Homo-oligomer: A and B are copies of this chain.
């Protein structure tokens, strides 16, 4: 297709490259490459979407109740009665966050996590903070979930304990590979275990309620011993608040769907919104059910046996098949939770990269249409973290969740500000922002209040978290966050500066190069050199050949041959008393460059010897490569390689 522009007379040809990637080991590992046109088919239905994006949130039911009880234990077992009211409050918070995100999903149909909402409503700085918080949290989710899953395996089979770091890193790499195959296949692989977990949990909670209503639900037989570090104190508001904030770990992972809207089938906002509500409903039901039943069976929070385990063996009358099913499903879902991060992190990185906060390379989609580089980066950083913390869950947990609540706060504050902007729009007017379109909405005040309350609540939870867990490890996050924000802003500044410097605004008409001054570095006179000379003569008449001499006999041979073959071109023999090749040549070029005229370009024509076998390169000096590297940093010097193939 040829397209000639009428006004400027520029010929523009468009053609599709016929290149098809060949099959090789990567194809076997991650599947055949997909063309860009296939992107629409790589979306997923709601049922798979729930498995891909919800496993993180759902897996938190495995430990949230226990976290509440652990804090209340400070005030003695009598305080356990507060657990159910606290969980009701958490479910209230979950509802608020869910409503907020459901609105966000419709407002930002191209993906609208905390980052985009902050960016569009609170400015670049808030966006960077939200981005940094979420990146850290995705990484921590992978490290914590895999370590926790491996810890469950190691509790059941202690012989694996010495290999837990290898096992954890191996699992991270396995999940990475599945994700590199593409979101559709990853979804299919993860749907089965997620639904198995839901089936087991609902069976347990359902059976528990049936027995409760029929009066046959007993207390836990032989419960673990309650270990409390401090002496029993009164139930103060601080203890309640602390228990509440610990329980809110149940909310981690709710963000994921709003970042992954584009992975859903059309109508994607609607499908994503429905999936979010399903997820929140399932999460709330399981969480409340487990907390209520745990209270009824008088479960005791303990390191030795989880509350889920106590509940399961009480409901199912001992350690039978159903009990083991519950434990296995819990283990698997913890590892599955990783997948949510693998779906979310690359998408968020691509968003940040497109806005110039991360290296641009992260916006490229790999051969399977996923952001391969983001997936690989997440796997590597999480593996490093696992190795650094020796796969210890208790070491990693305090770092976790601050980021989530920071992003919740920013997201809801951003939404509140958006309602305020919408409320002040004249009727019928539309304002197009980067991620969404603003239209007047009569009920803006109510919605703004809901979001503002959510922002305040999540901010409080975050603060309580940061204060109570500061010495346990939260300080690492509070230190890393500003560093990460600084890095993002430095990268952004580089791209902005570069764009300004490369910009064609105020760029005058280009002057033509009038004169070329050509320099040919010579090691010897042979066919390769004469090829370079032949090329140089097509450029200019101002040519100088330069030979750096270490050995006078060799210099004399070069001189004699050049007189015969050099076609009258000037030869400079530079004697190098310290037997260096590169430095005298660079100094000579610098001298010539210093005295060049305007509109004169210095071109170094280098005879580039290309041997027929790669190992032959070891038999030759690599001075040409060193010269190229050194000259790149000099201004106004053009380097031309004239290859000479030996075959």
Contact = CB atoms under 8 A, between A and B. Distances in A.
Contact of A550 (B364, B504, B559, B601): B364
Contacts of A238: none
A361 interface: yes
A595 to B, nearest CB: 16
Contacts of A601: 535, 538
Nearest to A502: B526
B10 A494 contact: no
A512 B34 CA distance: 47
A565 interface: yes
A11 interface: yes
Contacts of A226: none
Interface string A522-564: 0011111011011101110000000010100000000101111
Nearest to A616: B494
Classify chain A's interface size.
Answer: 35 or more
Contacts of A641: 628, 632, 638-640
A498 interface: yes
A578 B610 contact: no
Nearest to A558: B12
B512 A578 contact: no
Interface string A351-365: 000000001110011
B632 A608 contact: yes
Contact of A577 (B7, B14, B16, B638): B16
Contacts of A632: 608, 610, 641, 643
A364 B360 CA distance: 44
A163 interface: no
Given A512-B534, A601-B535, A639-B640, A583 B507 contact: no
Main secondary structure on A side of the interface with B:
mixed
Contacts of A564: 8, 504
A577 B35 contact: yes
A601 B532 CA distance: 12
Nearest to A353: B619
A637 interface: yes
Contact of A17 (B507, B561, B577, B646): B577
A21 interface: yes
Given A16-B577, A578-B20, A621-B361, A562 B646 contact: no
Contacts of A637: 643
Contacts of A12: 559, 562-563, 570-573
A434 to B, nearest CB: 15
Nearest to A515: B538
Number of this chain's copies in the assembly equals: 2
Given A37-B577, A360-B620, A620-B360, A570 B513 contact: no
A117 B22 CA distance: 55
Given A17-B588, A36-B577, A577-B17, A10 B568 contact: yes
A84 to B, nearest CB: 52
Contact of A13 (B533, B550, B571): B571
A43 B369 CA distance: 68
A531 B513 CA distance: 10
B10 A579 contact: no
A576 interface: yes
Contacts of A528: 502
A235 B640 CA distance: 77
B19 A570 contact: no
Contacts of A548: 17
A490 to B, nearest CB: 10
Contacts of A603: 640
A583 B21 contact: yes
Contact of A360 (B527, B621, B635): B621
B491 A619 contact: yes
Contacts of A157: none
B511 A534 contact: yes
A580 interface: yes
- 4 closest pairs, A vs B, by CB? A17-B584, A502-B526, A513-B538, A35-B577
Interface of A: 5, 7-21, 33-37, 359-361, 364-367, 491, 494-495, 497-498, 501-504, 507, 510-514, 516, 524-528, 530-531, 533-535, 537-539, 548, 550, 559, 561-580, 583-584, 587-588, 601, 603, 608, 610-611, 616, 618-621, 628, 632-633, 635, 637-643, 645-646
Given A35-B578, A504-B564, A512-B534, 7 more contacts: A10-B562, A13-B572, A36-B577, A367-B579, A501-B646, A535-B601, A637-B643
